[in-house]
Amino acid sequence: MSRSVPGLCDALADRGCDISFVTQKPRGVPAQVLLLPTRRVETHLLDGQDWPRLRFSHTPMLEKKLDAICAKFSPDVLHDHGVWLQMNHVAGKVTRRRGIKRVVSPRGMLEGWSLHYRGWKKRIAWRVYQLNDLRTAAAFSSTSEAEADSLRELGLTQPIAVIPNGIDLPAHDQEPERAGNTVLFMSRIHPKKGLMDLVTAWSRVARPGWRLVIAGPDENGHLRAVKNAARASGIYSTIHFSGYVAGREKSDLLRTADIFVLPTYSENFGNAIGEALAWGIPVITTKAAPWSNIASEKCGWWTETGPTALENALSQAMLMTAEERQKMGMKGRQLVERDFSWRTVSEKHIGLYDWILGRRDRPQWVSL
């Protein structure tokens, strides 16, 4: 969300919308390191309290601040991204009181894997406030048909718009510099991302001259478990752990990667997959990510979850010539250019907003 939500704000502003962006600043994180909208978007950065943990003693403070913002700007629509957090709960309360149409984007937080992860807390929250908050939304915006199906399975009956995230394309003058020896994982270091499967598969396919780069922020200490597994498998020296990357450092990793891998167990979209395709990198991911077009467009491998399928895909990708991988990667870039431009994504969101406000007929990407 730290990339896709600001990107959507910018794209909507480019289409002539008045946007106010409200977010909660994590404690101890300087505002300048957050990825925020930059063009014609008014940003309200609220100081967080141990964000993103649930601490509902802070709800009245946040509710008062958000209510003041809504009173000042009188928004037609409040687009609420995510669930479970106190800010999402406050958004529901304020919009109900003020009669503001609210669109909710669950951002994968209502997928099966996510619901079971720390499930006892979520079951309590579901009964206490979350189900009621969701039932009072005017509509949902999901990033894939699979996520829309998950919402229906939870008994939610409101209209659902299926709109993917937009993907930033690298400039054409940012030429790749591939050396033919790098497999890149770039995402959160989190149990659902399948890193333990990746370590197992890499222990079977690693060969001289090749390296695996694991880049991304550590969540809940999972990085330690991944490193311990790599040491136990005897492949630690073939893996480079980059930590969180952004800006030039991130671009350099994408420019030099020969293969991108995300062996995930749950994705509502998978921005990292789209970014890799935009950079012309063949992608290996699982059927837990809604990217069947990787297989149909022949720009990578869309496999079952687990280390065996991952091992097979990695072996095939590493045995290809650089020219074969380049041709596959170019098909991925063309896919992103065609289907995931910010212009297309923002136009679809505007169509959703206008429809729930009674300004146009129901768009074809909205199902009842």
Residue type at 151?
L
- What dihedral do alpha carbons 236, 240, 244, 250 form, nearest 10°? -160
pLDDT higher than threshold 60 for residue 22: yes
Q: Does residue 255 have a pLDDT over 90?
A: yes
Q: Which residues of 224-237 are buried (b: 16+ CB within 10 A; e: fewer)?
A: eebbebbeebebee
pLDDT at 78: 97
Q: Does 231 have pLDDT greater than 70?
A: yes
3-state secondary structure of 11: helix
Single out the residue of 28, 32, 18 nearest to residue 247, CA to CA. 32
pLDDT at 164: 93
Domain chopping of the chain, boundaries: 4-166+342-367, 182-339
What integer is the mean pLDDT of 320-325? 95
Q: pTM of the prediction?
A: 0.77
- pLDDT of res. 60: 84
Confidence of residue 3 (pLDDT cuts 50, 70, 90): confident
- Angle, in degrees to the nearest 10, between helices 59-73 and 86-98: 40
Average of per-residue pLDDT values in the chain: 90
Q: What are phi and psi of 35, to 5 degrees?
A: -85, 105
- Helices then strands, counting H and E runs in the chain, come out as 15, 13
Please tell me the distance from the alpha carbon of residue 344 to that of residue 335, in angstroms, as a whole number: 13
45-82 confidence digits (pLDDT tens)? 776 544 444 455 567 888 899 999 999 999 999 999 99
Asked whether the beta carbons of 131 and 215 are under 8 A apart, the reply is no
- When pLDDT is averaged across residues 145-165 and rounded to a whole number, the result is 94
Is residue 303 exposed (0-12), middle (13-18) or buried (19+ Cβ within 10 Å)?
Answer: buried
Please report, as a single letter, which amino acid is at residue 353: Y
Instruction: DSSP letter for 128, please.
Output: I
Cα 271 to Cα 22: distance, rounded to the nearest angstrom: 22
Q: Which is more confidently placed, 44 or 19?
A: 19
Confidence band (pLDDT; 50, 70, 90) for 305? Answer: very high
- Count CA atoms closer than 13 A to 222's CA, side-chain side: 17
pLDDT above 70 (res 31): no
| Superfamily of domain 182-339 in the CATH hierarchy | Glycogen Phosphorylase B; (3.40.50.2000)
Residues in the chain: 368
* Amino acid 30: pLDDT: 53
| SS3 at position 44 | strand
pLDDT of residue 34: 58
What mean pLDDT is predicted for residues 212-229? Answer: 95
Q: Which of 17-21, 107-111, 297-301, 323-327 is the least confident region? A: 107-111
Residue 172 pLDDT grade (very low, low, confident, very high; cuts 50, 70, 90): low
| Stretch among 133-142, 172-181, 254-263, 285-294 having the lowest mean pLDDT | 172-181
> How far apart (Å, rounded) are the C-alpha atoms in residues 141 and 165?
10
Does 283 have pLDDT greater than 60?
A: yes
Can you read off the two tokens belonging to residue 266?
Answer: 């749950």
pLDDT at residue 188 above 50?
Answer: yes
What is the pLDDT confidence band of residue 85, given thresholds at 50, 70 and 90?
A: confident
Percentage of the chain surpassing pLDDT 90?
A: 72
Q: With contact defined as beta carbons under 8 Å apart, do 185 and 194 qualify?
A: no
Dihedral angle, C-alpha 91, 97, 100, 104, nearest 10 °: 30
pLDDT at 52: 45
Please determine whether the domains at 4-166+342-367 and 182-339 fall in the same fold group of CATH.
yes
Residue 28 is predicted with a pLDDT of: 52
The residue with tokens 């109900």 is 96
Over the range 141-164, which residues count as b (16 or more CB within 10 Å of their CB) and which as e?
A: bbbbebbbebbeeeebebbbbbbb
Closest-CA residue to 52 (of 103, 115, 1): 1
pLDDT at 44 over 50: yes
Comparing 19-28, 98-107, 264-273, the range with the smallest average pLDDT is: 19-28
Burial class (CB in 10 A: 0-12, 13-18, 19+), 297: middle
Candidate from 19-33, 57-71, 148-162 with smallest mean pLDDT: 19-33
pLDDT, position 116:
84
Are 110 and 83 a contacting pair, CB within 8 Å? Answer: yes
Question: How much is the pLDDT for 114?
Answer: 82
Q: Which of 335, 353, 348, 347 is nearest to 167 (CA)?
A: 335
What is the SS3 assignment for 180-205?
Answer: CCEEEEECCECHHHCHHHHHHHHHHH
Q: Per-residue DSSP letters for 152-175? A: HHTT--S-EEE-PPP-PPPPTTS-
CATH of region 4-166+342-367, choose from 3.40.50.2000, 3.30.930.10, 1.20.1250.20, 3.40.1280.10: 3.40.50.2000
Evaluate if residue 41 carries a pLDDT over 90: no
